[in-house]
Structure 1
Amino acid sequence: MPISAKTRAGIAALAIAAAALPAIGQDRPESLLPPGFGDNQPTPTPRATGNGPASLLPPSVAASPGQPGAIVQPLPTDTPSPTPSATPTPTPMDAKALADYELPPFARRSLALVGPGGVDGGLPADAFGRADGRYLEGLMRSLDAPLPSRWMSILLRRTLASQLRTPRNVNGADFAAERAWLLLRMGESVAARAVAQSVDTGNASRKLLEVAMNTSLATGDPGGLCPLADRGRQATGERGWVMAQAMCAGLSGNATAAKSLMAQARRRRVAEGVDLRLAQKVSGAGPGGGQAVTIEWSPADTLTVWRFGLASATGVAIPAEMFATTGSQVRYWQALSPSVGDADRLPYAEAAAGQGVLSNAALVDLFGAIDEGDDVPAAASAAASDLRVAYVGGDTDARIGAIRQLWGEAAATPYARLVLTARAAARLPVGEGLEDADRLVASMLSAGLDRSAARWRGRVTQGGDAWAMIALADPDRGGRLTYNAVAGYGGTGDAALKQRLFFAGLAGLGRLTPEDAQRAAEALEVPVGASNAWTQALDRAVMAREPGTVVLLCAVGLQTPAWRGVPPATLYRITAALTAVGLDGYARMIAAEAIARA
């Protein structure tokens, strides 16, 4: 599988660092392990000067500036970024903004603590500690999403959507905008909107206004633009806000003003073609709108955030070929859209579940709705029926057969099908269907059912994939494995790569002694002690006890389209760092996922 320039650069950096290590096989080799191995407390290194993460990544990852609120902005894979933060300190509101503030003083939210809060598995408010906000914004802006790991994506979403203290040297609204923009690029449109809306309208910065337009459109919610429309037009002058004023007039029931504003926009060529007609359709949906608008997609040849959002809001079907002009994140937005029918949403939902945007429960609920619905495609109906049998079939053989059918050759997204069957697999009697143990265990762990998977510990074949995943994921495992356990593992597929990933995961989780880890590192040629700018930054974040910074840096380390592109030494560093800051549950799931998907 081809790998990206970012991956090649990352591998090259690791290779350069590894070249400085002593050759394997010398009489008395120096340790390949990093300082402090075994206690998950890396030795601190001198803090680098400078405020940004430029030294961590090759120049190619720098995102180009863009205007995400503009009607014509397309959404290719390399989604443009919003305007970078211009001011390092909060900017006070002027007198007019204070006068226009609608909330009473007791209801106003501070920019010192921003985020929707109440996130399951979220991080504490001080997750970024004393980290410089400009540095954190640079890390977020440099991230190429979506990530190859479902569990890393879940952890990153929960981190970004937590209620967090604004780091030093950045404006709280700007920092929220950067978080929301990364969530959008990950496909997490609902979480992105929640973060953007956690800032009061009166505190919205220019960058937040740009991102807020994108979050409202990505969720098919043009009404979300209305509280910001006047402020957005005044602050940015972008065409999107001009059209938003006209749409919001219609949505509020002021049909006369809406028609007048639309006519002005048409004369001034603010928008035309499908962009104008979609806006007219939204405006006409309000009370007294009274105008029927027919949408003709031709000659439009790209799907922009404007077209996606307004079409989703008005129930206009988007031609399937238009999605080929976008990044995969737009398909995840589609999976989260309530305006799309269940059967039409299914292929997008499966892809989103494989990425971590949808949970096992949400995907099962969607199949349940399809099972109860009428006039659904035969393939979707058959899969829903198989899932029902997998959960509540009359006997174990029928349930196992249904699970196998769901995993069958026709599945377009095989890992998503493992997510779908996770709880059905957990309901099977331990040891039933042992010939499928590797996929049954991988299925359970895809949804975090670690103790359900651990029940199979004594029944699976030692040295196989299921055994390795349980050894990594078991939360109650006592003691450590030996070098012989690593040497005896032979996974299916690329056995050599899986063995190296297995070692890296065990070492990062502290499940090998230093002596056995040193021996395995030499035998498998995994330079877990290699040092570069990224590992040094990760060590500093661990020593500073900054779990939020650690999560961002771990995500930076996964800049590759698939698990096969992740160097084992990188997996070691990620699992070790997450374990050290108390995120060991995620570290275990990431390590097991590497075995399941490599």
Structure 2
Amino acid sequence: MMLQRKAALLAGAGLLVLAAPIALVAANPAAVVPPAAPASAPSAAPAPAETATPAGEPAGEVAAQTEEQSSSSSSSNRLPTLEELEAMDTDELDELFGLKPTYDIPNAQRRATTRVGILAEDEGGLPATSLARQPQSIVRAALTGTQGRLVSRWGHIALRRALASRLAAPEGMSGVEFAGLRAQLLNRMGEFGAARAIAQDVDVDVWNARLSNAAIDAYIATGDIVGACPLTMLRAGYRDDVEWQMLRSICSAYAGEAARSRNNLLQLRDRQSGEDGNVIDVLLAQRFAGAAGLGNSAVTIEWDDVDELTPWRYGLAAALGIEIPDRLIDDAGPYYQRVSASLPALPLSQRVEGVRRAAREGIFSSAAMIDVYAQGYAASREEGPLGTDAALLRAAYVDPDPAARVTAIRTLWGDAETIPYDRQVLTAYAAARIPANDGFAADAGPLIASMLTAGLDRDAARWREIVDEGDAGWGLLAVGLPGNSGQVSSGAIDSYRDNDQTTGTRRTRMLVAGLAGLGRISDGTRNAWNRDLDLELGRETRWSALIDRAGEVRNAALVTMLMGVGMQGDDWSRMTPRHLYHIVSALRRSGMEAEARMIAAEALART
């Protein structure tokens, strides 16, 4: 089955880093309950609450008090003098004359926050009531305890699906708070577009500070600066930092208030110049505001005195098409590569490293990565590294000779002892077109691994008769194919260990953990290998007890969020077989066997 879905604890000692968030969970594993039964459709938006008479007070006295207060208010509500008017800023004038909007959505069109998300269950999302009966402390700890980077590409894909699903908030948590927690985690994962979409599924005037900040971060990362304008207009006072003031000024320009925008930015520029002498942020804001075509003064962007790149500088410069010096980009962190992958305003040559990272981490699908290389081929043919790789990729698809296609694939993989994982993602569909025969048996392992990066398990299954028991390709098929054609024997695992060249037979350890989690070895075989390899599969922690219980009650959403906590790290060296076993087992039992298989196969391919 081709795993094409819509939306596409640090291990070992590193687990201690996350002990604090998980320790906050007051409930024990038994508190994890099955998903709630489907709730009735959300009711229509409630009518505005009427003013109630306080209990124990006669209505007449209340009316008299109201009249007295109104009279007192009227007498003290005088018009300001001319001097006071001149001293007021534009926000104070708007407040005085009632020009500041409070909301712009008719009651009939307001959206309930009982369920928030962009993937309904019939669109590939998880059941809406999955978390409705769960203690909010568990869900909050899982979402805040996951820092964003997962060791597994398929784990990232599964977690993104859960976070983007249209879900009801857990018991004791508001829908807005739940949306904010999910949007923040999506931003940390590099899924800025999904984070923006989650925020936009909630009416702006009910955003809390968490959701507002997550939305602004997503807008800047996606180059959608003016997307923040509804918030700046409706919630003007919720922040007072320089970035917020620049955003408000930009939005004023696009709302037709050129004079306000120009004056505010000039004041900010003078203030920043006096504080630290670095006005690059305000200059970028002036340039962006000037793009509204409202007569803003032209500004020149110079990077000579800039020694640090920030999300604000990168997002505005990319949106404006302003070139950023290499010295700033070269020292930038992974955040900027993730942002660059999806910014169409950037040249392809500046996006390619970000695209490769996005493919490794699960942000980009194989098809999305191929699209970028196809654009590179159309734009430059065989000029430059991107054009050369694009030409090789084309040959890997269309050359009539299968041997030539395999040669092109090998060239894309490079000469390194370990094939870069993003290259295997790039060649997934080309690998699926290679005929399964003995002539290509030497390349069977990496070809199968490449196919499984895109979930092409049916195509990989054609190689069952080609690989030998105990080979690398055999191990990938043993955990990656659907169905269970029988128990994997202890002898087959022993053959695999004989071919395992990894330090401490780490790959064999991952194979046993994956097979045990998928239920593809007997209890006796599992226990024997558990003792032989000292895997500690039976050792229980609070995290393992929680994810096991969530899997037992088939709560896929909670399993996936707890999986995110247990999969944190920069590479597979941070994942223990014991954690892999609990994750694969819980995913399988919760109904996500396909994801469990792909994660088990990825563990072998990347170890």
Q: TM-score, normalised by structure 1?
A: 0.82
| Identity, % of aligned positions | 37
Q: What are the superposed Cα offsets for residues 525-574 of structure 1, whole Å, 9 maximum, x if unpaired? A: 21111111111121232244322121111121123321122111111111
Once residues 566 and 149 of structure 2 are traced to their aligned partners in structure 1, the CA distance between those partners, rounded to angstroms, is 13
Q: 1:479 aligns to what?
A: 486
Matches within 5 A, 1:63-82: none
Q: What are the superposed Cα offsets for residues 261-316 of structure 1, whole Å, 9 maximum, x if unpaired? A: 21232344499511111111110110224533222223222222211221121112
- Larger-gyration structure (1/2): 2
Counterpart of 1:438 (choices 432, 435, 445) is 445
Do residues 515 (structure 1) and 524 (structure 2) align? yes
- Alpha-carbon shift at residue 351 of structure 1 (Å): 1.4
Q: 2:108 aligns to what?
A: 106
| CA distance 1:400–1:375, shift in 2 (3 Å) | closer
- Alpha-carbon shift at residue 54 of structure 1 (Å): 12
Secondary structure of the 1:126 match is: coil
Q: Which amino acid aligns with 2:494?
A: A
Q: 2:13 aligns to what?
A: 9
Secondary structure of the 1:234 match is: coil
Matches within 5 A, 1:150-229: 150-229=153-232
Matches within 5 A, 1:510-549: 510-549=519-558
Q: 2:59 aligns to what?
A: none
CA contact (8 A) 2:518 2:588 kept: yes
Matches within 5 A, 1:295-444: 295-323=301-329, 326-374=332-380, 377-409=383-415, 414-431=420-437, 432-444=439-451
Q: What are the superposed Cα offsets for residues 181-206 of structure 1, whole Å, 9 maximum, x if unpaired? A: 11111111111111111111121112
Once residues 393 and 252 of structure 1 are traced to their aligned partners in structure 2, the CA distance between those partners, rounded to angstroms, is 54
Q: What are the superposed Cα offsets for residues 372-400 of structure 1, whole Å, 9 maximum, x if unpaired? A: 11388522111100000000012111111
Once residues 15 and 472 of structure 2 are traced to their aligned partners in structure 1, the CA distance between those partners, rounded to angstroms, is 26
Which segments of 5 or more consecutive residues in structure 1 lack a partner in the other structure? 15-47, 56-91
Matches within 5 A, 1:284-299: 284-299=290-305
Q: 1:494 aligns to what?
A: 502
Q: 2:515 aligns to what?
A: 506
Once residues 181 and 413 of structure 1 are traced to their aligned partners in structure 2, the CA distance between those partners, rounded to angstroms, is 33
CA contact (8 A) 2:131 2:170 kept: yes
Do residues 279 (structure 1) and 285 (structure 2) align? yes
Deviates more, 1:155-164 or 1:231-240: 231-240
| CA distance 1:52–1:9, shift in 2 (3 Å) | farther
Bigger share in helix:
2
Q: 1:569 aligns to what?
A: 578
Which segments of 5 or more consecutive residues in structure 2 lack a partner in the other structure? 1-8, 30-47, 52-97
Secondary structure of the 2:380 match is: coil
CA contact (8 A) 2:27 2:135 kept: no
| CA distance 1:239–1:171, shift in 2 (3 Å) | farther
| CA distance 1:458–1:526, shift in 2 (3 Å) | same
Once residues 118 and 545 of structure 1 are traced to their aligned partners in structure 2, the CA distance between those partners, rounded to angstroms, is 18
How many residues get paired?
525
Once residues 522 and 147 of structure 2 are traced to their aligned partners in structure 1, the CA distance between those partners, rounded to angstroms, is 35
Deviates more, 1:441-450 or 1:458-467: 458-467
Deviates more, 1:573-582 or 1:115-124: 115-124
Q: Which amino acid aligns with 2:478?
A: A
Q: Which amino acid aligns with 1:239?
A: V
Q: Which amino acid aligns with 1:100?
A: T
Once residues 93 and 179 of structure 1 are traced to their aligned partners in structure 2, the CA distance between those partners, rounded to angstroms, is 30
Secondary structure of the 1:502 match is: helix
Q: What are the superposed Cα offsets for residues 237-265 of structure 1, whole Å, 9 maximum, x if unpaired? A: 23322111110122234322221221232
Q: Which amino acid aligns with 2:511?
A: F
Q: TM-score, normalised by structure 2?
A: 0.81
Once residues 502 and 580 of structure 1 are traced to their aligned partners in structure 2, the CA distance between those partners, rounded to angstroms, is 19
Once residues 49 and 372 of structure 1 are traced to their aligned partners in structure 2, the CA distance between those partners, rounded to angstroms, is 53
Q: Which amino acid aligns with 2:447?
A: L
Q: What are the superposed Cα offsets for residues 468-510 of structure 1, whole Å, 9 maximum, x if unpaired? A: 0011011133222122222221355416111110000000001
Secondary structure of the 1:489 match is: helix
Q: What are the superposed Cα offsets for residues 144-183 of structure 1, whole Å, 9 maximum, x if unpaired? A: 3211110001111111111111112222222211111111
| CA distance 1:576–1:426, shift in 2 (3 Å) | same
Once residues 98 and 113 of structure 1 are traced to their aligned partners in structure 2, the CA distance between those partners, rounded to angstroms, is 30
Q: Which amino acid aligns with 2:196?
A: R
CA contact (8 A) 2:286 2:296 kept: no
Once residues 292 and 377 of structure 2 are traced to their aligned partners in structure 1, the CA distance between those partners, rounded to angstroms, is 34
- Alpha-carbon shift at residue 415 of structure 1 (Å): 0.5
Secondary structure of the 2:585 match is: helix
| CA distance 1:507–1:209, shift in 2 (3 Å) | same
Q: What are the superposed Cα offsets for residues 348-393 of structure 1, whole Å, 9 maximum, x if unpaired? A: 1011111111110011111111111138852211110000000001
Secondary structure of the 2:301 match is: coil
Q: 1:550 aligns to what?
A: 559
RMSD (Å) for aligned C-alpha atoms: 2.9
Once residues 454 and 559 of structure 1 are traced to their aligned partners in structure 2, the CA distance between those partners, rounded to angstroms, is 30
Once residues 233 and 325 of structure 1 are traced to their aligned partners in structure 2, the CA distance between those partners, rounded to angstroms, is 35
CA contact (8 A) 2:120 2:128 kept: no
CA contact (8 A) 1:250 1:289 kept: no
Once residues 183 and 597 of structure 2 are traced to their aligned partners in structure 1, the CA distance between those partners, rounded to angstroms, is 27
Once residues 13 and 201 of structure 1 are traced to their aligned partners in structure 2, the CA distance between those partners, rounded to angstroms, is 35
- Alpha-carbon shift at residue 106 of structure 1 (Å): 3.0
Q: Which amino acid aligns with 1:248?
A: C
